[in-house]
Amino acid sequence: MDDGRQGGAAHQAHAKVGLRDIAEALGISQTAVSFAMNDKPGVSEETKRNVKAMARKLGWTPTYAAQALSSSKTMTVGFAPSRSADDYQTESFMLHFMAGAQLALSRKGYGLLFSPCTSLEEEMQVYRDWAKRKRVDAVILVDLRANDPRPRLVRDLGMTAVLAGGPDPDDIVPSLSIDDSTTMDSVLVHLSLLGHQRIAYLSGDPNLDYCMERTKAFESFTSTRGMGPLWVEFTDFDVNKAVSITQRLLAEEEPPTAFIFESETLAAASIRVITEVRIRQSQLPGNARGLAYPYNMPATVSFEDSFICESLYPSVTAVHRDAGEYGTLVAKLLLKSLAGRRVTGNRKILTPQLVIRESTRMASAN
């Protein structure tokens, strides 16, 4: 006969364990338990150890609301990059970066609040709103610009922040950047060894720090080697603009024999146009004995690597960075700051690797 005692025991076993249960088990006050769980002064180290051991034994877990109320923390990190809507649909680097960041944050009980913006002004207003409402504990900044107002803004708002990229020239916000210093040289050495002298670089946004650094490296390398003619064109990461520029350059009397693209999406769209032009040229009677597609293609290199570069034909030589690992390391740096550890300066990590594929192996320097 079931007298209800079994059901009552089951209910008790599944009941939520609270601070009161821990206090009763140890014979101390609930306030002392609260202080111990939140590492506040007023209780001994021995009491803290005993409380935490009993909490584990009883299966106690903190509720989000109570934890936030007791610590004045939201356990949330804000991420509000300003990019076009198309970028979020086509660019894989940022998605992998966010996944890596969330992986590190979740291990410490933090969540990532993603609030995409379409302009720098909108992004800055988001930070003001977050600070006013105490919505997040910290923010991650990306895409450093020339004379960027964001580091100074988050400092004035009293927000903890870390910059993915940089470095911040005013050293206001600590940064962690991929060591891209020799990457453009690696690309150009590879192309020059294949015999390419006429090279076009279709960059991204001239306002972004890393685009200008790569442009300077391109110009420095090619001028010291006496290469040319050369082209540097800014696309603003607009695929249609990249296609238009590629078409114009292909119509030159001496067109580029190699193209370097800022991203894999720019490369993919432009390769389609290059392919159409080269196939038509292969079919002309006067070119019957010339190189046929795809061996008459100009060499192409992308500064971003993804499945797109592997899937295209010809597959695209690309600069590979582990975006997920990068996001994880940026988040870990931010967590150090949130834990009260002193975090300053600018660090460089994760030297990119040039992955050689068909787009430079099959192409010839004409």
Domains and CATH numbers, the chain: 5-71 (1.10.260.40), 76-178+323-350 (3.40.50.2300), 183-321+354-361 (3.40.50.2300)
pLDDT digits (tens, 9 = 90+) for 55-113: 888 888 766 555 555 556 889 999 999 987 666 666 788 889 999 999 999 998 899 99
At residue 322, does pLDDT exceed 60? yes
Is the C-alpha dihedral spanning 92, 151, 160, 130 positive or negative? negative
Among 33-37, 79-83, 223-227, which is the least confidently predicted range? 33-37
For range 348-358, the mean pLDDT: 91
**Token output for 159:** 């927000």
At residue 361, does pLDDT exceed 80? yes
pTM over 0.85: no
Q: Are 360 and 188 in contact (CB under 8 A)?
A: no
Higher pLDDT, 126 or 85: 126
Nearest residue to 202 via CA among 170, 236, 174, 158: 236
How far from each other are the two terminal CA atoms of the chain, in whole angstroms?
A: 93
Higher pLDDT, 334 or 289: 334
**Token output for 271:** 């390769």
Rounded to the nearest integer, the mean pLDDT of the chain is 87
What is the predicted pLDDT for the residue at 11? Answer: 40
Supply the DSSP string of 288-356, one letter for each residue: TTSPPTTTTPPEEEESS-SHHHHHSSSPPEEEE--HHHHHHHHHHHHHHHHTT----SEEEE---EEE-
pLDDT digits (tens, 9 = 90+) for 136-157: 999 999 999 989 999 999 999 9
Nearest residue to 210 via CA among 308, 303, 302, 119: 303
Q: Are 228 and 222 in contact (CB under 8 A)?
A: yes
What is the predicted pLDDT for the residue at 130? Answer: 96
**Token output for 322:** 């582990």
Instruction: Tell me: cis bond preceding 116? Omega within 30 of 0 counts.
Output: no
At residue 8, does pLDDT exceed 50? no
Q: Are 355 and 320 in contact (CB under 8 A)?
A: yes
What is residue 229's DSSP assignment?
A: S
Q: Could you tell me the pLDDT band of residue 10, with boundaries at 50, 70 and 90?
A: very low
Share of the chain above pLDDT 90, in %: 61
At residue 312, does pLDDT exceed 80? yes
Q: What is the DSSP pairing of strand 160-164 with strand 175-178? A: parallel
What is the predicted pLDDT for the residue at 279? Answer: 83
Q: Are 317 and 354 in contact (CB under 8 A)?
A: yes
Q: Are 234 and 207 in contact (CB under 8 A)?
A: no
Q: Could you tell me the pLDDT band of residue 211, with boundaries at 50, 70 and 90?
A: very high
